[in-house]
Structure 1
Amino acid sequence: MNVFGSVVDRYDTARPGYPPELADAIAGYHGSTPSRVVEIGAGTGKGTEVLVTLAAPVTCIEPDPRMAARLASKFPQAQVLIGTFEQWRPPPGGVPLLACAMAWHWLDPVTRNAKARAALAAGGTLALFGHRYGYADPDQAAAIRTALDALDPTATDRPADWMYHDVLAAGELTDVHVERFRRRLPLTRDAYLALVSTFGPFLTRPPDLQRQGLDALGRLVDDFGGTVTLDLLTTLTLGRAA
């Protein structure tokens, strides 16, 4: 679902990047510098920022042309392909490193693990990473959850380690494990509302519900003194093709 292209500028500025330690963790698991990296659903390049530091050629797959254009302008050294992971054809023998940042849930849950395994070379690495947006202050967390539930009681959050459990349960890869990185990120009212307005569940809601949600959250942040501090948990799931 291409919902992010309409907010490409906001997405690129509001979404937090990833800790640079991710690159060391990926390289350490892989065991050497990969000869090639392929990234699924690269967006505007939040994950690409980590992957290009591996000093290997990077190919980025991104279905939205607007996101792909921003990605290409930021990373001219990367090859950017417009299309879906399902449309992409891996080279003969597969690729040594396949990565995906915050886009694994957009892939077909029935086939994504098998397709990833088929795209990997023997001994190749799958690296999935993403953020879980929590709140450092439990009172802020409870107030925000109450406000969001009032607008949409059907909304749910995935468990922090859901990608790890997804890969493990599929049984396509070996040596599957997860690493976690945590940091606190204070955001002003405007920065927080900009971030929320880039989330997929927000963008798929009707415009009137979007406005109600931002108004309610804005009032809450004002009550908090104008700042929200995120408890940003980044998880990295790694698996190996036998």
Structure 2
Amino acid sequence: MRTLFGEAADTYDDVRPGYPGRIADAIGDYHGTTPEHIVEIGAGTGTATRLLRRLGAPITCLEPDPRMAARLTANLPDVTVHTGTFEQWTPPPGGVPMIVAALAWHWLDPATRNQRAHDALTPGGTLAIFAHKYGYADPVQSRAIDTALRAIDPDVRDRPAGWFHLDVTASGRFTDVRAETVDRDLTLSTDRYLDLVRTFGLFRQHQADQQERALAAVRSLVDGFGGGIVLRLRTSLVLARRPGPLG
């Protein structure tokens, strides 16, 4: 499941939207100082890594798909890339001061992810999780696309924005849990939007015939909207701290 994206690494790198600068500012303000080290879980081709570089700390990126990891290394040769999962990675003695997951928390084992993150952090260290929720500026267009996709796969499910806030809070492993959101609109042409759809995990999990039917249905709709669509991106950020003084 975690290597779904390698075949689309080039498209993923090209079309996935970046993150607002406010996210980096909020992480830095929360942590309070420049972290000595940042570990990013599921870094992909470096979309969030570019943002994290603003914090001025060395970054180790964990990426299980070797094709995504290769693109990440080519994009950002100044970061350290570990080709493997969070579960396979061994934290240094004493832990790390900051762990970040951008659109990756859902790929981790829900039974162990909070405990693993807690144990890998130094006391007082920061956990930062953030992700986009892809909505639509026009509710009529939103309903039309949702109806078309459910006609192909009635069981399609999507997580609510910020679901990981509840996940982290309910774990009881962290303190000072905070959340904030940043909203913005993104206008895409039909072709650009279809490229984005091709990078979604829910899309890539389906068989090729279902993928082609979904793309054809969405193309027809977006062309009918005038050849473009306005996405409403909600970026949710959750910050939490391992209890104890920062070591």
Letter matched to residue 186 of structure 1: T
| 1:93-113 deviation per Cα after TM superposition (whole angstroms, max 9, x unaligned) | 110000010011000000000
SS in 1 for 2:219: helix
| Residue 161 of structure 1, CA deviation | 1.5
User: Residue 188 of structure 2 aligns with which residue?
Assistant: 187
| Residue 156 of structure 1, CA deviation | 1.1
Distance in structure 2 (CA, Å) of the matches to 1:50 and 1:236: 13
Q: Does 2:112 align with 1:145? A: no
Letter matched to residue 107 of structure 2: W
User: Residue 173 of structure 1 aligns with which residue?
Assistant: 174
User: Residue 199 of structure 1 aligns with which residue?
Assistant: 200
**TM-score under structure 1 normalisation?**
0.99
Stretches of structure 1 lacking an aligned partner (at least 5 in a row)? none
| Residue 226 of structure 1, CA deviation | 0.5
| Residue 201 of structure 1, CA deviation | 1.0
Stretches of structure 2 lacking an aligned partner (at least 5 in a row)? none
User: Residue 154 of structure 1 aligns with which residue?
Assistant: 155
Runs of 4+ in 1 over 4 A off after TM superposition: none
User: Residue 97 of structure 2 aligns with which residue?
Assistant: 96
User: Residue 122 of structure 1 aligns with which residue?
Assistant: 123
SS in 1 for 2:40: strand
Q: Does 2:214 align with 1:213? A: yes
Distance in structure 1 (CA, Å) of the matches to 2:94 and 2:229: 48
| Residue 74 of structure 1, CA deviation | 1.0
SS in 2 for 1:89: coil
Distance in structure 2 (CA, Å) of the matches to 1:183 and 1:16: 11
| 1:114-141 deviation per Cα after TM superposition (whole angstroms, max 9, x unaligned) | 0000000010000001100000000000
Distance in structure 1 (CA, Å) of the matches to 2:147 and 2:24: 37
CA RMSD across the alignment: 0.6
Distance in structure 1 (CA, Å) of the matches to 2:132 and 2:162: 10
Letter matched to residue 163 of structure 2: W
User: Residue 43 of structure 1 aligns with which residue?
Assistant: 44
User: Residue 109 of structure 2 aligns with which residue?
Assistant: 108
SS in 1 for 2:47: coil
SS in 2 for 1:85: coil
Q: Does 2:229 align with 1:228? A: yes
User: Residue 133 of structure 2 aligns with which residue?
Assistant: 132
Identity %: 57
Letter matched to residue 29 of structure 1: Y
